[in-house]
Amino acid sequence: MSTKSQFSLSYPKRGDSEHTRYNLLDLQRHKLSSQHILLFLPRDQKLKECAISIALAAGLITGVPAIADANINANINMAMPDVSVLISGPPIKDPGALLRYALPIDNKAVREVQKPLEDITDSLKIAGVKALDPVERNVRQASRTLKQGKSLIVEGLAESKKEHGMELLQKLEAGMDELQQIVEDRDRDAVAPKQKELLNYVGGVEEDMVDGFPYEVPEEYQSMPLLKGRATVDMKVKVKDNPNVDECVFRIVLDGYNAPVTAGNFVDLVERHFYDGMEIQRGLSGLPVALRQKILPKVASILTCVHDHNTWAPLIFAAADGFVVQTGDPEGPAEGFIDPSTEKTRTIPLEIMVEGEKSPFYGATLEELGLYKAQTKLPFNAFGTMAMARDEFEDNSGSSQVFWLLKESELTPSNANILDGRYAVFGYVTENEGLLADVKVGDVIQSIQVVSGLENLVNPSYKIAA
222: Cβ–Cβ under 8 A, 6 or more apart, which residues? 216, 459
Q: What is the pLDDT of residue 22?
A: 38
Percent of the chain residues past pLDDT 90, beyond the cut = 62
Q: Indicate the pLDDT class of residue 392, thresholds 50, 70 and 90.
A: confident
**13, 15, 117, 392 from 380: Cα distances, Å:** 17, 23, 23, 18
Q: What is the pLDDT of residue 20?
A: 37
The larger pLDDT score, comparing residue 287 to residue 60, is at 287
Q: What is the pLDDT of residue 241?
A: 87
Angle at 114 between CA 110 and CA 119, to 5 degrees: 155
Q: What is the pLDDT of residue 131?
A: 97
Q: Quote the radius of gyration of the chain (alpha carbons, Å).
A: 23
Q: What is the mean pLDDT of residues 421-441?
A: 94
The larger pLDDT score, comparing residue 24 to residue 273, is at 273
The runs of H, that is alpha helices, within 259-389 are: 260-271, 289-295
Q: Indicate the pLDDT class of residue 155, thresholds 50, 70 and 90.
A: very high
CA distance 408 to 383: 6
Q: What is the mean pLDDT of residues 421-425?
A: 95
Q: What are phi and psi of 97, to 5 degrees?
A: -65, -40
**Each residue of 102-145: pLDDT tens digit?**
999 999 999 999 999 999 999 999 999 999 999 999 999 999 99
- Residue type (1 letter), 420: D
Query: By mean pLDDT, which of 206-215, 290-299, 323-332 is the weakest?
Result: 290-299
327: Cβ–Cβ under 8 A, 6 or more apart, which residues? 275, 278, 279, 280, 281, 282, 401, 402, 403, 445
pTM score of the predicted model: 0.78
Q: What is the pLDDT of residue 151?
A: 97
Nearest Cα to 235, choosing from 450, 448, 4, 9? 448
**106, 182, 352, 423, 452 from 356: Cα distances, Å:** 11, 39, 12, 19, 28
CA distance 116 to 135: 9
Nearest Cα to 285, choosing from 443, 391, 176, 435? 443
The larger pLDDT score, comparing residue 295 to residue 213, is at 213
Give the strand pairing for 402-406 and 361-362. Answer: unpaired
Given a cut of 50, is residue 303 above it in pLDDT? no
Q: What is the mean pLDDT of residues 347-376?
A: 95
Nearest Cα to 139, choosing from 161, 158, 115, 162? 115
Q: What is the pLDDT of residue 406?
A: 86
Q: Indicate the pLDDT class of residue 77, thresholds 50, 70 and 90.
A: very low
Q: What is the pLDDT of residue 413?
A: 52
Q: What is the pLDDT of residue 305?
A: 35
Query: By mean pLDDT, which of 219-233, 255-269, 328-342, 447-461 is the weakest?
Result: 328-342
**11, 234, 251, 436, 437 from 432: Cα distances, Å:** 25, 11, 7, 8, 10
Q: Indicate the pLDDT class of residue 167, thresholds 50, 70 and 90.
A: very high
Q: What is the pLDDT of residue 230?
A: 98
- Residue type (1 letter), 90: P
Query: What rounded mean pLDDT belongs to the chain?
Result: 78
**Each residue of 215-267: pLDDT tens digit?**
999 999 999 999 999 999 999 999 998 888 889 999 999 999 999 999 999 99
Q: What is the mean pLDDT of residues 9-35?
A: 42
Q: What is the pLDDT of residue 15?
A: 59
Q: What is the mean pLDDT of residues 329-333?
A: 92
Q: What is the pLDDT of residue 373?
A: 87
Query: By mean pLDDT, which of 18-27, 347-356, 406-415 is the weakest?
Result: 18-27
The larger pLDDT score, comparing residue 285 to residue 359, is at 359
Classify burial at 245, counting beta carbons within 10 Å of its beta carbon; exposed 0-12, middle 13-18, buried 19 or more.
Answer: middle
The larger pLDDT score, comparing residue 83 to residue 458, is at 458
Q: What is the pLDDT of residue 92?
A: 87
